[in-house]
Amino acid sequence: MELKFQIQAKINKPRAEVFDAVYKPSKIRGYFATGGSSGPLVEGREVIWQFADFPGEVPVHVKIVVPNERIVFEWAAAAEPKPGQQPSPNQLPASADYNTRVEMTFETLSPNSTLVRIAESGWHQTQHDLNSSYDNCGGWMNMACCLKAYLEYGINLREGMF
């Protein structure tokens, strides 16, 4: 069985505005990568995301960018903890020796409404990786909700959440 998932959310803003909120560092830090982003999600580049609520850097390897339509990147899967090691709830997990693939698509539903889909795939078929895929699924749904709140209401749902 291939480990993968897809979430989606309707954002009541035009597609270009929703795309920019994911693509541009000045926007994504307002609701998701709250510790900052080293640059825009430009095809072929590595961008570093940081989260104010979780210490550490998250390298994002940007593979495909179709403006206002699609962003594809790869990033490290979570490493399996060593025996007896408990992951800290306020720290990013260690990176595994392989990447998963994230694909975001942006679909116009109306002039002021966009459907955002986020799919992730590529985990190994172990119990740890199944658990990691569930964690990421929840994380991407949280990101989509935070994106909606940020664009539609101007608030940062992550602030003080973790």
Report if residue 162 sits inside a domain. no
pLDDT at site 160: 77
Nearest to 39 by CA among 47, 28, 27: 47
pTM of the model as a whole: 0.90
pLDDT value for 116: 98
Per-residue pLDDT, 161: 75
Residue 20 lies in a domain: yes
Q: Which residue has the tokens 């490493």?
A: 79
Q: Which domain holds residue 15?
A: 4-82+91-153
pLDDT on residue 91: 54
138 forms beta bridges with none
In a domain, residue 158? The reply is no
Q: What is the per-residue pLDDT for 55?
A: 81
Do residues 47 and 23 make contact, with C-beta atoms less than 8 angstroms apart?
no
d(CA 48, CA 110): 33
Report if residue 26 sits inside a domain: yes
For residue 159, tell me if it sits in a domain: no
What does pLDDT average to in each consecutive run of 10 residues of the chain (162 residues)? 93 98 96 94 96 87 98 89 59 74 98 98 90 92 97 92 72
Task: Report pLDDT for 141.
Answer: 97
Q: What is the CATH number of the domain that holds 106?
A: 3.30.530.20
Q: Is 72 domain-assigned? A: yes
- What is the total count of domains within the chain? 1
Whether residue 160 lies inside any domain: the answer is: no
Structure tokens at 71: 């962003």
Helix (H, G, I), strand (E, B) or coil at 46: strand
